[in-house]
Structure 1
Amino acid sequence: MRRYLLSRVLQAIITLWLLTLVAFVLTRLTGNPLDVLLDARATEEDRAAMAQALGLDRTWSAQYAIYLGKLARGDFGDSFKTRRPALEVVLERFPWTLELGSAAFLLSVAIAVPVGVITAVRKDTAVDALGKVIALLGQSLPTFWLGLMLILVFAVTLGWLPAGGSGSLSHLVLPAVTLGWFTVAGIMRLVRSAMLDTLGDEYVVTARAKGLAEHRVVWRHALRNALIPPLTYAGLVFVTLLAGAVVTETVFAWPGIGQLVIESMAFRDFPVIQVILLLFGALYIAMNLAVDLLYAWVDPRIRLAEAGERAR
């Protein structure tokens, strides 16, 4: 177990370093920030002075070395646009994205788990077919299209909910449904598959033979064990929801990191973009590591394999 833990931590560190490199290169490919920061009347001397002030007058390799050195000291640089610490700018918006992602996640779980269980119990029936249609729609409908359709129906036509903005629970409904709908299909299919495997286990057959009510067998006994695979998958889904909120936040004018990404890309604000990429990359790596360690703790085969290697 210790060797497995060390190997996974080492892989996470290497992945995080590669992420810093990718974030650095991708931001530079968006263009020169001086074209946005300075107007057309700026002279070459003005451009040179601004480039030197921002550290853009050096080669990419030199800039990357300086960037890594600052990261090691916990310095993520200052925003080109606001001249404030880039990390501070991002963390101001993060609670909004966290609120939207959490609402979307809870909504998707509340829909996916019951539907997954019911379609497993009613396998090869009309209910199961309907569940497959829901899964297909969840994976095929573009987020921006679904968001626009929800606005058209519930905000413009019916007037039940606001079309965008923030500040109340009603503002959260449409973006949460839009963002959460995409993950319903994956969780539902995983729950269905796990339930089909669990419903054939001996303890379930025994519980039915003892005369337990079917709803108790399914919802109290079978579901408890069937939820283990979906729970490990759910952590990665949550981080994916946070990172994938860019389109949804843009459609609904939600003041989260998604809006900040669009603004920073337009302004070519390298430090802010790099912080955003590193934040979500680190969250995904940390969640993936936690899932791997959970599997190692639950699955004794990993510990037995390590014991066998030591014995050799």
Structure 2
Amino acid sequence: MAQVALRRLLSALILVAVASVACFSIVAVFPGNVARVIAEMRSSTVSDEIVKQIEVQYGLKDPVPLRYLRWAGRAVRGDLGESLRTGQPVAKDLVRRAPLTVILILGGGAFTLVMGMGLAFLGALWSDSVIDRIIHVLSLIGASAPKFFIAALLVYLFGVVFRILPTYGFAGPASWILPCISIGIIPGSILSRVARVALAEEMSRQYVVTAISKGLPRRRILVHDALPNALPVTINAFAMHFAFMVQAALVIEPIFAWQGIAAYFVEAVRFRDYQVLQSCLLVFCVFFILVNLSVDLISMALDPKQSRQRLA
């Protein structure tokens, strides 16, 4: 187990290195003259001389591999450069904005788990009943609706019609509810179908038939026997959608006026702030890799057979 974990950690470090190259390269090959963009941000009048000074200042004429090594070396030390738009250190801005995005993703992940596992358990408990069919339909609708539509609908219902929840800004726990629900409904709906299928497969196995023949209640069999065996598949499905919540945050944060990392990235795209773009892309990639690494290790711990196969 320890050897497998070490190999996975080494693979994750290699992936982080590859991701850093990709993040730098994507921004480095942006069309247009980056130095001229920087000059236009700083002054209304731009001359060729000013553009050349900026190229020298930022080393934009140096070979791309050398520029990457400089950027990566500073990034390892926690120096991500300065925002071209505000002049503030990018690392400082990321640290300041990180709690909002962390709350959004963790809250959305918690809602996804509660919704997905709750609907799957209810559907399996009353299998092939009207309740099961209603849950199936609701899950399909939830998985098909666009993120921005769900967020806009929640804002309209709870902020305009009922006026019971705040819909603008980051102002305490009450303002977390709608963004977390908005980001969690789609993955929660998908997770409910994955978990429902996994539970149905477990409930059709021979050990369940034996337990039912002994007179054990269906609820006890679901909780003590079927659910633990369905967890590895469910956790892997949850991890995939949890990692992609960063992508969903790009839509949800601007709608609710949250100034998190995702909103920071959207602003950087609008103003072509390439220092911020590179840093945000790197943060997103590292988050994605760490989530997959953590879930892979958890899956091995929950599934001894999978662990033995990997060791072999």
Q: Is contact 1:48-1:57 (8 Å) kept?
A: no
- Separation in 1, partners of 2:221, 2:309: 33
Partner of residue 19, structure 1: 19
How high is the sequence identity, in percent, across the aligned residues? 28
Following superposition, the deviation at residue 165 of structure 1 comes to 1.1
Following superposition, the deviation at residue 113 of structure 1 comes to 0.8
2:117 equivalent to 1:113: yes
Residue 217 to residue 26, structure 1, CA distance change in 2 (3 Å): same
**Which of these residues, 281, 286, 292, is aligned with residue 288 of structure 1?**
292
- Separation in 1, partners of 2:95, 2:83: 13
Residue 153 to residue 305, structure 1, CA distance change in 2 (3 Å): closer
Residue 302 to residue 25, structure 1, CA distance change in 2 (3 Å): same
Task: Give the alignment's TM-score, normalised by structure 1.
Answer: 0.86
- Separation in 2, partners of 1:120, 1:48: 67
One-letter identity of the residue aligned with 1:130: I
- Look up the SS of the partner of 2:244 in the other structure: helix
1:28-107 correspondence to structure 2 within 5 Å: 28=28, 29=30, 31=32, 32=34, 33-34=37-38, 36-107=40-111
**Which of these residues, 253, 265, 281, is aligned with residue 277 of structure 1?**
281
Following superposition, the deviation at residue 305 of structure 1 comes to 6.2
- Separation in 1, partners of 2:77, 2:108: 35
Following superposition, the deviation at residue 135 of structure 1 comes to 2.5
**Higher deviation after alignment, 237-246 or 271-280:** 237-246
2:250 equivalent to 1:242: no
Encode CA deviations 1:47-97: one digit per residue, 9 max, x unaligned: 222332233343434322322333344432232233333222112111101
Following superposition, the deviation at residue 34 of structure 1 comes to 1.7
Residue 156 to residue 306, structure 1, CA distance change in 2 (3 Å): closer
For the aligned residues, what is the CA RMSD? 2.5
Q: Is contact 1:27-1:268 (8 Å) kept?
A: no
One-letter identity of the residue aligned with 1:199: M
Structure of greater relative contact order (alpha carbons < 8 Å, 6+ residues apart): 1
Following superposition, the deviation at residue 254 of structure 1 comes to 1.3
Following superposition, the deviation at residue 306 of structure 1 comes to 4.5
- Separation in 1, partners of 2:286, 2:31: 22
Residue 251 to residue 210, structure 1, CA distance change in 2 (3 Å): same
Residue 294 to residue 99, structure 1, CA distance change in 2 (3 Å): closer
Residue 283 to residue 30, structure 1, CA distance change in 2 (3 Å): farther
Following superposition, the deviation at residue 4 of structure 1 comes to 4.4
Partner of residue 199, structure 1: 203
Partner of residue 190, structure 1: 194
Partner of residue 251, structure 1: 255
Gaps of 5+ in 2: none
One-letter identity of the residue aligned with 2:308: R
Q: Number of matched residues? A: 307
- Separation in 1, partners of 2:25, 2:151: 32
1:106-255 correspondence to structure 2 within 5 Å: 106-255=110-259
Residue 73 to residue 114, structure 1, CA distance change in 2 (3 Å): closer
Following superposition, the deviation at residue 117 of structure 1 comes to 1.7
Q: Is contact 1:30-1:265 (8 Å) kept?
A: no
Runs of 4+ in 1 over 6 A off after TM superposition: none
One-letter identity of the residue aligned with 1:195: L
Encode CA deviations 1:244-300: one digit per residue, 9 max, x unaligned: 211000111112112111122222222222222111211211221233334444243
